[in-house]
Amino acid sequence: MEKGIVVYSSISVVHRARKLLKKKHVATHVVQLPSDLGLKGCSYGLECALEDMDGILAYSHEKNLNMKAAYKMTETESGKVYTAYDLS
């Protein structure tokens, strides 16, 4: 299974993004991210359907929601694999 993950600058931004997206009927939920991802920023992110990812990134740029990183997350038998996703 593949999912999108968007990492924002702080937990407050994560919650704000989730609420704004909910108003646009885009379902996301807050997840804690593994600390070995080497994130410079919040340890929390929004998990979303992969097909919503580009729309969420564009909307976050539009709303000045400060993003730190984005990933495509793939669930494999040996665990979750995170692949960097282009933020722009």
Dmax (CA) for the chain in angstroms is 37
Which is closer to another protein, CB of 43 or CB of 74?
Answer: 43
Q: How many CB atoms lie within 10 A of CB 10?
A: 14
Contact set for another protein, span 24-53 (CB under 8 A): 30-32, 35, 38-44
User: Structure tokens of 55?
Assistant: 């729309």
CB of 18 to another protein, least distance (A): 9
Q: Output the smallest distance, CB 48 to another protein, in A.
A: 16
In this structure, the strands spanning 44-49 and 67-76 are: unpaired
Contacts with another protein by CB under 8 A: the residue count is: 20
Q: Which residues pair with 80 in a beta bridge?
A: 75
| Shortest Å, Cβ 16 to another protein | 6
- For residue 85, with 0-12 CB atoms within 10 Å meaning exposed, 13-18 middle and 19 or more buried, which class applies? middle
Q: Does 79 engage in binding with another protein (CB under 8 A)? A: no
Residues that bind another protein (CB under 8 A): 9-13, 15-16, 30-32, 35, 38-44, 64, 66
